[in-house]
């Protein structure tokens, strides 16, 4: 885990003091809402449907038990006893009082956390692979790179007022677990001739105009990675469409210029930067990397596992994956119980997850973009005890990557931008498909639900996606098929006319029935869809 140095801590503490003063001035009437709004947004404080909402940054989704307990403390003391883990690997609190916000930020600062750059047209929280540092298939640990990108992008004076918000993901394996190509910049660490470097993908995103980022460079040497990212941002900052909010993301610029012309300009800028003798913060890498050293693994840990308890076996099969260290596993805590709210956790559950991370996972946790929590380093001999404690707290659904492991944005139940509710759909689908045998028969099936076109629920990237829309004052749901956020990234397509809430759930059942009928050998839903095509599914749905 990265630890703040004196500069990090001073910056965050100073920001808390500054915001405390701004809140006091707002409450005293010295600042109007128009003046105050950009200031509170810079500190992650939104005004949503029912109250102020605070979005707290969890850098690349990584946190320790002390930080997790603080998140539980905030939920208990300042909110309504729960928090919502988001598709950006962050956490949101839905019931914050303005007068409490400075104290909350001070509490966060005391455990090296903040809410800076979780809003606004700046570089947002860097996201990464939730299995980083533990995955058996990674070629390097992406976390030091995510951290150096975080430090580079924090308060970057040139990139604090970009044309639009900007999201960067960094991964280090061919399996993409971070939706990398659906970010403004996707960085994949790779080796070339024995040298570490990065592949750059630029111009991806979801929202109202979904695009898959094209590769613009197959190899940037590691020590030039930050400079290359800076060149990408500079071209965007110069030519991004500031005249039209809906065309201001970098994906539009790359699309309008064309990949070749955008890349040419980036390369030109990159060459220019190299003549300036700038020293990018990559020099900090050695210092930063030491914070991400492997924990003290038991090198004699056994891979043997007693799977005689059938429920435990199901959980192990579904929710754990191979670890790079023999005798260990990566375990995912599903925040998708039957009928539950995807991503929500009570303060008691948050505290428990912190305790379990401390006891069983070298004090580490990760938040996933699928709104679950990962314990990255669990000794296999501890898995049964861990599972039992999770099960007692309703934290052991064995449904990772199955249809009930859905992503859902807060939707119209909480969000002022939403047109329709998304959580009730996720709840009803989890009840309709509650039978675990049926879920496992369907296999990997990524269901993603958004309550509006802004696509916080990643519906474009769902094997099955649902988009809630407002149709003459009533909620209506469009069904999409064929998306993927993984290494086989694709964008889902709308099947046809929308449905009411029950209708779209029936339609999902229709398409999953067709999949089971048409499936060949080990095909996943997405594989069958791609082979069979949309027409057969449309025919099944609409006749």
Partner 1 sequence: MKILTGNDLKTGDVTWWTGSDWSRHVEDAVDVGENFEAILHEEEAARRVNVPYAIEAEMTEDGPRPAHIKDRVRALGPTVRPDLTLKPADPEAGNWVI
Find the shortest distance in angstroms from Cβ 341 to partner 1. Answer: 6
Stretch that binds partner 1, among 234-242, 422-430, 503-511, 517-525 (CB under 8 A): 422-430
Q: Which of 396, 412, 467, 541 binds partner 1 (CB under 8 A)?
A: 412
Q: Which residue number, 49 or 536, has a Cβ lying nearer to partner 1? A: 49
Find the shortest distance in angstroms from Cβ 412 to partner 1. Answer: 6
Q: Which of 99, 260, 392, 502 binds partner 1 (CB under 8 A)?
A: 99
Structure tokens at 231: 């060149």
H runs (alpha helix) in 135-195 = 143-153
Give the Cα separation of 99 and 71 in Å (integer): 18
What burial class does residue 358 get, using C-beta atoms within 10 Å of its C-beta: 0-12 exposed, 13-18 middle, 19+ buried? Answer: middle
Stretch that binds partner 1, among 22-30, 348-356, 375-383, 391-399 (CB under 8 A): 22-30
54-83 residues near partner 1, rule: CB under 8 A: 80
38-57 residues near partner 1, rule: CB under 8 A: 47, 49-52
Q: Is 97 in the site for partner 1 (CB under 8 A)?
A: yes
Do 169 and 186 form a contact (C-beta atoms < 8 A)?
Answer: yes
Q: Which of 194, 277, 310, 473 binds partner 1 (CB under 8 A)?
A: 473
Do 80 and 94 form a contact (C-beta atoms < 8 A)?
Answer: yes
DSSP of 41-63, one letter per residue? Answer: HTTTEEE-SSSEEEEEB-GGGEE
Q: Is 474 in the site for partner 1 (CB under 8 A)?
A: yes
Q: Which residue number, 31 or 434, has a Cβ lying nearer to partner 1? A: 31
Q: Is 275 in the site for partner 1 (CB under 8 A)?
A: no
Q: Is 348 in the site for partner 1 (CB under 8 A)?
A: no
Pair type for strands 168-171 and 127-128: parallel
Find the shortest distance in angstroms from Cβ 400 to partner 1. Answer: 22
Q: How far is CA 98 from CA 37, 45, 57, 350, in A?
A: 12, 9, 18, 23
Find the shortest distance in angstroms from Cβ 106 to partner 1. Answer: 18
Q: Which residue number, 428 or 493, has a Cβ lying nearer to partner 1? A: 428
Q: Which of 11, 39, 98, 307 binds partner 1 (CB under 8 A)?
A: 98
Residue for token pair 């900007």: 166
Q: Which residue number, 263 or 427, has a Cβ lying nearer to partner 1? A: 427
Q: Which residue number, 265 or 427, has a Cβ lying nearer to partner 1? A: 427
What burial class does residue 283 get, using C-beta atoms within 10 Å of its C-beta: 0-12 exposed, 13-18 middle, 19+ buried? Answer: exposed
CB burial of 396-425 (b: ≥16 within 10 Å; e: otherwise) equals bbbbbbbbbbbbbbbbbbbbebbbbbbbbb
Give the Cα separation of 486 and 129 in Å (integer): 11
Sign of CA dihedral 344, 395, 353, 383: negative
Q: Is 496 in the site for partner 1 (CB under 8 A)?
A: no
Give the Cα separation of 132 and 126 in Å (integer): 13
Find the shortest distance in angstroms from Cβ 33 to partner 1. Answer: 6
Stretch that binds partner 1, among 135-143, 242-250, 320-328, 469-477 (CB under 8 A): 469-477
Give the Cα separation of 1 and 154 in Å (integer): 18
Q: Which residue number, 10 or 416, has a Cβ lying nearer to partner 1? A: 416
Q: Which of 27, 271, 278, 385 binds partner 1 (CB under 8 A)?
A: 27
Q: Is 414 in the site for partner 1 (CB under 8 A)?
A: yes
- x/- string (CB under 8 A) for partner 1, residues 307-346? ----------------------------------x-----
Q: Which of 416, 431, 506, 517 binds partner 1 (CB under 8 A)?
A: 416
Residue 331's DSSP bridge partners are 320, 375
What burial class does residue 458 get, using C-beta atoms within 10 Å of its C-beta: 0-12 exposed, 13-18 middle, 19+ buried? Answer: buried
Contact residues: partner 1, CB under 8 A: 26-27, 29, 33, 47, 49-52, 80, 94-99, 341, 412-414, 416, 418, 421, 423-424, 427, 470, 473-475
């Amino acid at each position: 885990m990265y630890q703040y140095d004196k500069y990090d801590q001073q910056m965050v503490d100073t920001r808390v003091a500054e915001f405390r003063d701004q809140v006091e001035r707002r409450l005293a009437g010295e600042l109007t809402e128009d003046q105050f709004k950009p200031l509170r947004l810079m500190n992650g404080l939104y005004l949503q449907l029912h109250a102020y909402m605070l979005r707290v940054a969890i850098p690349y989704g990584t946190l320790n038990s002390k930080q997790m307990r603080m998140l539980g403390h905030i939920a208990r003391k300042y909110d309504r006893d729960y928090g919502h883990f988001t598709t950006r690997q962050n956490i949101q609190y839905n019931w914050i009082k303005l007068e409490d916000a400075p104290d909350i930020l001070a509490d966060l600062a005391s455990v090296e956390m903040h809410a800076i750059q979780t809003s606004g047209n700046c570089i947002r929280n860097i996201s990464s692979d939730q299995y980083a540092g533990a995955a058996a298939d990674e070629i390097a640990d992406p976390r030091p790179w995510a951290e150096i990108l975080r430090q580079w992008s924090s308060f970057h004076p040139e990139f604090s007022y970009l044309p639009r918000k900007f999201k960067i993901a960094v991964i280090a394996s061919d399996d993409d677990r971070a939706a990398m190509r659906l970010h403004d910049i996707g960085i994949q660490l790779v080796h070339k001739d024995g040298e570490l470097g990065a592949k750059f993908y630029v111009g991806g995103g979801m929202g109202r105009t979904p695009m898959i980022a094209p590769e613009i460079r197959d190899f940037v040497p590691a020590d030039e990675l930050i400079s290359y990212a800076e060149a990408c941002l500079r071209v965007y900052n110069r030519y991004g469409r500031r005249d039209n909010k809906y065309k201001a993301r970098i994906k539009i610029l790359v699309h309008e210029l064309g990949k070749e012309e955008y890349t040419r300009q980036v390369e030109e800028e990159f060459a220019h930067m190299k003549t300036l003798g700038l020293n990018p913060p990559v020099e900090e890498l050695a210092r930063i990397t030491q914070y991400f050293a492997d924990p003290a693994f038991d090198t004699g840990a056994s891979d043997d596992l007693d799977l005689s308890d059938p429920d435990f076996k199901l959980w192990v099969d579904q929710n754990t994956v191979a670890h790079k260290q023999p005798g260990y596993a990566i375990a995912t805590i599903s925040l998708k119980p039957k009928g539950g709210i995807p991503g929500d956790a009570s303060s008691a559950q948050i505290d428990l997850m912190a305790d379990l991370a401390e006891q069983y996972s070298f004090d580490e946790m990760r938040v996933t973009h699928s709104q679950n929590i990962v314990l990255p380093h669990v000794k296999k001999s501890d898995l049964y005890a861990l599972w039992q404690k999770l099960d007692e707290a309703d934290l052991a659904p064995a449904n990772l990557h199955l249809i009930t492991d859905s992503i859902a944005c807060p939707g119209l139940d909480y969000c002022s931008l939403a047109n329709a509710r998304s959580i009730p759909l996720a709840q009803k689908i989890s009840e309709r498909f509650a039978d675990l045998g049926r879920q496992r028969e369907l296999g990997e099936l990524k269901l993603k639900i958004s309550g509006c076109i802004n696509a916080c629920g990643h519906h474009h990237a769902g094997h099955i996606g649902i988009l809630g829309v407002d149709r003459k004052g009533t909620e209506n749901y469009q069904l999409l098929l064929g998306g993927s956020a993984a290494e086989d990234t694709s964008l889902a397509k709308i099947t046809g006319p929308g449905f009411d809430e029950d209708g779209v759930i029936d339609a999902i059942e229709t398409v999953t029935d067709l999949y089971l009928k048409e499936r060949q050998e080990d095909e996943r839903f997405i594989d069958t869809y791609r082979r069979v095509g949309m027409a057969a599914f449309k025919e099944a749905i609409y006749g």
